[in-house]
Amino acid sequence: MVRMTLEAATELSEAVLRRQGFSQEQTRALTHTVIAGQRDECHSHGLYRLLNCVSTLAAGKVNVHARPEVHDQAPGIVRVDAKGGFSQLAFEAGLPELTRKARQQGIAALAINHCVHFSALWVEIEAITQCGLVALACNPSHAWVAPAGGTKPLFGTNPIAFGWPRPDGQPPFIFDFATSAIARGDIELHRREGKPVPHGWGIDRHGQPTQDAAAVLEGAMLTFGGHKGSALAAMIELIAGPLIGDLTSAESLAHDEGKGASPYHGELILALDPRRFLGDSATEHLQRAEALFTAMTAQGARLPSQRRYEARERSLTQGVEIPDSLYLELQQLA
């Protein structure tokens, strides 16, 4: 393993992206995401993702000079056209208008269209909770996941993330997971490391259960929680696909034309303002939310994101670690 400071990791990411032709703005926004992922030990969405950024560019499937366009779609809806660039800049462009509308009306939606997408959603959810708002985000990806009861890829790994701001400087309550049993990136990491995957993550192309990571990647991934994850995955296809006029995971994969680039689709983000819902009683009710978190942890349960926040503390003082092979690949690209 290679250990480096967060500053060195940031420099490495910027060097790779600039060298490969990404604009200064795209480089900054992409680096923010992958360094956040690496810092919080979300390895499938950390520095490893730079390889996808580069291969997506080489495949001609991303506009590295894209400048997102913000449209005031409706009183409660802001739409950002990412213009074929990665989603991060589009999210940054839409955030001020999303928060303004949510504060004004209590609830607002941000629809991002025509973006190339790979990020861990908690990065965006954190930015919204920092504004004191409750947040929900989801998006399709490429058709890699079989619906419960089926054997052929149809859904994306379709992540869904939720965030709740907390008082007194406490980090927000955030969960963020794929509706597949695990993110595809994790299966790719198992394949790179030659490790078998656990039962229940996927099936081979003949529809048979397998623990061979490569066979799952060629076959189909499975949803988490059987029919429940499957229904959530379908919902995400709908509300972050046709509802916002963008591609489903099957359409994203067709758009890819076998190039193996990052998915191309839309993203739906909702923001809710507790102060608009509750008026003067907001503080009292937010305190009741705190009682819920206390009751969870009192039983020995951990809150989602706790592992991440602990990893963040460690990384800020000790830096981050990546496998030798990944470090060498990134060095070569830089």
Ligand X SMILES: NC(=O)C1=CN([C@@H]2O[C@H](COP(=O)(O)OP(=O)(O)OC[C@H]3O[C@@H](n4cnc5c(N)ncnc54)[C@H](OP(=O)(O)O)[C@@H]3O)[C@@H](O)[C@H]2O)C=CC1
Residues designated as active site: 44-45, 186
Instruction: Give the interface segment with ligand 2PC, choosing from 60-68, 102-110, 181-189, 265-273 (CB under 6 A).
Output: 181-189
Which candidate, 98, 171, 104, places its Cα nearest to that of 135?
98
Residue 195's SS3 state is coil
Tokens of 222: 């499975």
CB 322 within 8 A of CB 6: no
Residue 207's SS3 state is coil
Is residue 178 within the footprint of ligand 2PC (CB under 6 A)? Answer: yes
Residue from the set 56, 88, 129, 139 that interacts with ligand X by CB under 6 A: 139
Within residues 257-286, the interface with ligand 2PC by CB under 6 A covers: 263
Binding map of ligand 2PC across residues 21-60, x = CB under 6 A, - = no contact:
-----------------------x----------------
User: Which is nearer to ligand 2PC, 119 or 129 (by Cβ)?
Assistant: 119
Q: How many residues bind ligand 2PC (CB under 6 A)?
A: 9
Q: Would you give the DSSP letter of residue 322?
A: E
Q: Would you give the DSSP letter of residue 201?
A: S
Is residue 116 within the footprint of ligand 2PC (CB under 6 A)? Answer: no
Question: H or E segment at 264?
Answer: strand 264-272
Instruction: Give the interface segment with ligand 2PC, choosing from 180-188, 194-202, 239-247, 300-308 (CB under 6 A).
Output: 180-188
Using the structure block, give the residue that is written with the tokens 């070569």. Answer: 332
CB within 8 Å of 119: residues ≥ 6 apart: 33, 37, 45, 49, 87, 88
DSSP sequence for 151-173? -S--B----EEEEE--STTPPPE
Is residue 91 within the footprint of ligand 2PC (CB under 6 A)? Answer: no
For residue 163, the Cα-to-chain-centroid distance in whole angstroms is 13
Residue 96's SS3 state is helix
Within residues 196-235, the interface with ligand X by CB under 6 A covers: none
Within residues 76-135, the interface with ligand X by CB under 6 A covers: 117-122
Binding map of ligand X across residues 50-69, x = CB under 6 A, - = no contact:
--------------------
Residue 173's binding partner out of ligand X, ligand 2PC, none, with CB under 5 to 8 Å set by partner kind: none
Please report how many Cα atoms fall inside a 13 Å half-sphere around the Cα of residue 163, on the Cβ side: 26
User: Which is nearer to ligand 2PC, 133 or 261 (by Cβ)?
Assistant: 261
Which residues of the shown chain bind ligand 2PC in the complex (CB under 6 A)? Answer: 44, 118, 141, 157, 178, 183-185, 263
